Structure formats: C-alpha cells, structure tokens
Structure 1
Amino acid sequence: MFKRFPWFSCILSLLLSTALYQPVNAIELDEATLTVPLNTSGKTTILTPEQVKRGKRLFNNTCSQCHNGGITKTNPNVGLDPEGLSLATPPRDNIEGLIDYMKNPTSYDGAESIAELHPSIKSAEIFPKMRNLTDDDLFTIAGHILIQPKVVLEKWGGGKIYY
C-alpha cells in the first residue's frame, strides 16, 4: 500500500510525530483557564493567549530564579500557590494584589516593607531586572502566576516534591 500511495506514509508519519510531541500536561487554554481574579471584590479578567505567553516569558526572565515552579527558594513556607497568596496580608491571590506586591513588597503579614530584600519596582536600582517593567508587564506576570495552578495543578508551589 505504501508503494502505491507514497504520500500516505508521509501523512502517517506527520500525524504520529505530532501526537507524540504534545506536552503531557498541556491543556487547552480555554476561557475558564484564562479567567483570573482581578481584585478582592471578586471582579475577574480574562487573559489573552498573548498575555499568557508574554507573562510566562517575563516571569521566567525576572522571577523564576527564586520562584521556579511557584516555590520561594528563600522561604519555603511561603509559595505562589493559591492558598499561600490568599493568606497573605493583604491577599495577593489576584492581579491587583500581585501588582501592588511587585511595586512595593511587604512581609507576609503586611507589617513591613521588604523592598530592599525582594525585587520590586520600588527597589529597581538594586534589582536591575525590574527597571524596565511596565504596568502591562506586571499585569502579565501576575496573570501567569494565577493561571499556573490551573495548568500544572498541585505542582505549582509544590516545593521539593516536584522541583
């Protein structure tokens, strides 16, 4: 059959190779996955696929040295998982809360500024990677952080068990 229809083997090879190289944890980025909390009042926003892609790139370039996989290397008790973000003061489990944190970070209980210890817009002179980030950049980074639990599930912020 392959000798009679040589194009058939090419198509079959293409279909098999495409199926074999799909990421195991890949899920379709549907509207539910792309919908994230905007603020503490319950308002949500839907990220575009472009924002997701850009947020991942910016997160990897700016944040992943200390937060690879949603963990916090300097303090394993505080991660970027939904529970950890929601229990912070103020809550950081929404876009506005994360942007506020990236501009002016505070301790987990919100009592004191940690801008000299944690990269932020406020401390961009100490942390050069923060210098050129715009509000749109911070929005997409926050979006990336918030959709990861939907994409990689319990691995996000799972610590040494997964990373």
Structure 2
Amino acid sequence: MKKQISPVHFVLGLCTIMSCSATVLAIDLDETTRTIPLDSSGSTVILTPEQVKRGKRLFNASCGQCHVGGVTKTNPNLGLEPDALSLATPPRDNINALIDYLKNPTSYDGSESIAELHPSTKSADIFPKMRSLSDEDLFAISGHILLQPKLGGEKWGGGKIYY
C-alpha cells in the first residue's frame, strides 16, 4: 500500500528542497568572490570560508536587528550597499574603514560622532552586544557587509522594494 502525501506536505517539502539548493555555503564561494577591498589604497584580502560564516553569524546577531538585508531601519534612504558606503565621509567601502566605523561611528558626512546612537565598541557600555567583539570579529562582520552585494546583487541595501 502506497502512502499518500498531502498537497501541503508536498509543497512544504518542495520549498525545503528548493531553499536548501538556493543557499550558498561559504565553502562553495570561490576566491574571486571572497576577495574584498581591505583599505583605501586598493589592497584586497581573500576571506576564508570560516570568516565568511563567522561574519554572517556575527552580523545577524549584532547588526541584523537594524540592518536586515543591508537596509538601515532607522534611515531607509541609507543602506549598506556599495554606493552608500563609498559616498560616506570618509568612505566606508573597505574592511579597515568599516572596522574604524564599528569602533568610532560618525555621521554620514563624518562631521560628528554618533557613538551614542549607533552600536560600537566605543559605546559598549550602552550597547552590550558590542562588548565581546574582538578586532577579528569586526573584520569578519565588515567582510560580510562587503561580500553581500556580490551574493545578493542590488537586493543588498535595496530597501523595501525587495523586502
């Protein structure tokens, strides 16, 4: 006797299979994809698969509440997409610049500190999630932010037109 599968279970199973096949694992990313700008001089770094996984985990735990999909919930006009990062003052489009920002955040025009508004290691007393983040953790989070446009294209930071 054949066991009948309900249409609901079939669709749920199909969705599970499809989402698993669509997931990109860090180990599946080639070195070209994992190559990220390190500094403003044009130097690059190749993230290890472990840094990719760690960056995603730490970003989701520490930043994801306000930056789901690279969007900034408090200012939807300003996301974490490459254009927005490169047009900030100073530009935040490389690992070292993002680490600096995560330690000492400034307004988009760079004119004032926003450490009391944006989580940072400088304001870890206000934002407890930042207390335990090491420089290695900040490196991984920054790598995650810069890697996402390569994986999700314009959806990363694209705002409500995608989410």
Larger radius of gyration: 1
Superposed CA deviations along residues 98-120 of structure 1, whole A, max 9, x for unmatched, are: 00000000000000000000000
Moved over 4 A (4+): 18-21
TM-score, structure 1 normalization: 0.86
Q: Secondary structure at the match of 1:99?
A: helix
Q: How does 1:82-161 map to 2 (within 5 A)?
A: 82-161=82-161
What TM-score results when the alignment is normalised by the length of structure 2? 0.86
5+ residue gaps, structure 1, are 1-17
- Aligned position for 2:5: none
Aligned residues: 147
CA-based RMSD? 1.8
Amino acid corresponding to residue 141 of structure 1 in structure 2: I
Instruction: Please identify, of 23-32 and 132-141, the stretch whose mean Cα deviation from structure 2 is larger.
Output: 23-32
CA deviation after TM superposition for structure 1 residue 25, in Å: 6.0
CA distance in 2, matches of 1:69, 1:19: 23
Give the distance between the partners of 1:19 and 1:125, measured in 2 at CA.
Answer: 43
Unpaired runs of 5+ in structure 2?
1-15
CA contact (8 A) 1:90 1:110 kept: yes
**Matched-pair identity in %:** 72
Q: 1:26 aligns with which of 16, 24, 27?
A: 24
Structure 1 contact 25–152 (Cα < 8 Å) conserved? no
Residues 39 and 96 in structure 1, CA contact (< 8 A), matched pair in contact too: yes
> Is 1:55–1:144's contact at 8 Å kept on the other side of the alignment?
yes
